A and B are shown apart, each in its own frame.
Chain A
């Protein structure tokens, strides 16, 4: 039983990280209904970026999130303007295929440059504290994961404020709600979409930089996180930021608890299974829209 609660606590912490990972997709998918098979590849780039900066420049991943975030923002905007903008108005098949092409390109460029070997981030703030634990209510809480989770939560809340409380965020919401009406009030949808892609890429890359402290870094790590992100966004209601957070926490917990009872290989199976179930029984997600 105690094992169960322990798993729940760990799961919640992972959940905050997952929330950061998924919220970029919430913006792109929820806003523009654009699928992105390469979402996990941005994560992978964030992870590799953090690893590389850490090993060559001794820059801590937690600090690296700034340059990485900016760089990935630029990449996201570039991808939108050069590729996605052109397929946006076409049929879904082509849109999907275009991002699959992106997946092939990014993932295998990483293989070409870094090889498929697993890399690990060492000697960073969080990894140095990897043994440090907190005792709370009879449960053991690892401090590094806690810090990572809190950082993710802070970023997440900043994003929420951006979307919900700023004029820019309102413009973004307006564009998703009704593109033509948004144009009538002077909003340029193309610019909104470009920013959405930039933000989405930056957020998931930052999540990757934090995750690099806890997971192995390798080029193929992206796809499972892509599906995980989709499961979270679907559960959370396609476009609801708060919903994404709740769904991410749920997913983190489900994952964590599953490992107690099933072999670790099945860690994600339950989450993916729930994506399928949601699609069938409650397509609007657990928490509805916005």
Chain B
């Protein structure tokens, strides 16, 4: 995975080709559907892209830095609410709000996470849940953001296409399509940023901390700092996603913004698609979300209505993989072909070297 030396040649070109094809499909996908009068599929596409984007974000702290994090939805809420507050009180559009939301989320994340980096693996994971649980009553009772009554996006018809994109106010039959493309653009940007990070010093250091934290310290890596940096990148992506979500949903409620599923789906997508691999989350999202949609439409009115079944299936997937092939949670067999694309290192067995015992 070394920046320039490894991964060129026919593997690299095949990869570029697949990428190009996927990009064309992604851009062209909704057009025939739009012409055909549908909006549902564009919405599904939007959800796929949003969750794929969040998955890429989660992958930074979870896959690369190896810290199980059940709490990034807090930063999604931060992003969503910040953008709405900025719009409502300052009259500034969502893209400005996104910048503000990302900045605030990153600062908050750094402040809250740095002390927690003293905690290891399990303890850290629980701590992320604890923070989320503290955020819930705050979200529900904080008057400034209207508590559980929620904040609504002030509707203002846009003056033309450019203004619509600037204010993320789309209406009518074009709405799902427009949000699809906005999500696609944000997703592409997120992947690009992740790609740059992966090949940078950050990417190397994250994975070193994951593989052997003590050993990493011994070669000069401040593991606490890098865990914070990793989580902050995840927070930034989640904040951006939160803004997108807010303007798509037209309202933000603390319960929805802080929903655990914002962690669960991206996490599952990442596992199914291949943890640690740049395209893993996207692949996983493309697989899981349509399945989940199909399940809810077919079971929608029956006795098994509700999200329950999705999660039962996810649970079974995880448990079966863990029981049959524990390292599979780190990389699933059918991502072997994805490995040929992404020059990321293969990841089939844990390090196996002794843990540090003082």
Contact = CB atoms under 8 A, between A and B. Distances in A.
Contacts of A106: 315
A93 B330 contact: yes
Given A96-B121, A101-B318, A227 B126 contact: yes
A101 B122 contact: no
Interface stretch (A47-55, A83-91, A190-198): A83-91
The secondary structure that dominates the A interface is helix
With most chain B CB atoms within 10 A of its CB, the pick from A87, A104, A234 is A104
Given A101-B317, A105-B312, A227-B126, A87 B326 contact: yes
A83 B324 CA distance: 8
B7 to A, nearest CB: 26
A107 B311 contact: yes
Interface in A173-203: none
13 contacts: A33-B122, A94-B327, A94-B329, A96-B121, A98-B319, A101-B319, A111-B308, A266-B137, A268-B133, A269-B138, A276-B127, A279-B116, A280-B116
B329 A280 contact: no
A57 interface: no
Contacts of A95: 122
Chain B interface size band reads 35 or more
A231 interface: yes
Interface of B: 62, 66, 68, 70, 115-116, 118-123, 125-127, 129-131, 133-134, 136-138, 140-141, 264, 271, 304, 306-312, 314-319, 322-323, 326-327, 329-330, 350-351
Chain A interface size band reads 35 or more
B348 to A, nearest CB: 12
Contacts of B306: 111, 115-116
Instruction: Give 3 nearest A-B pairs by CB, closest first.
Output: A101-B318, A105-B315, A104-B315
A108 interface: yes
Contacts of B315: 101-106, 108
Contacts, number: 150
Contacts of B134: 269, 272-273
Interface string A261-290: 001011011001101100110010000000
B133 A283 contact: no
B319 A279 contact: no
Nearest to B320: A101
A104 B137 contact: no
B62 to A, nearest CB: 8
A82 B118 contact: no
A95 to B, nearest CB: 8
B127 A279 contact: yes
Given A101-B314, A280-B118, 14 more contacts: A35-B126, A90-B326, A92-B122, A93-B62, A96-B122, A98-B318, A98-B329, A105-B312, A112-B312, A223-B129, A234-B123, A263-B141, A266-B141, A276-B116
A82 B309 CA distance: 22
Contacts of B314: 101, 104
Contacts of B309: 108, 112
A200 to B, nearest CB: 15
B18 to A, nearest CB: 29
Nearest to A234: B123
A206 to B, nearest CB: 23
A272 B133 contact: yes
Contact of A101 (B127, B130, B307, B322): B322
Given A111-B306, A227-B130, A272-B133, A100 B318 contact: yes
A227 B259 CA distance: 17
With most chain B CB atoms within 10 A of its CB, the pick from A29, A98, A106 is A98
A224 interface: yes
Contacts of B264: 104
A94 B316 contact: no
B130 A275 contact: yes
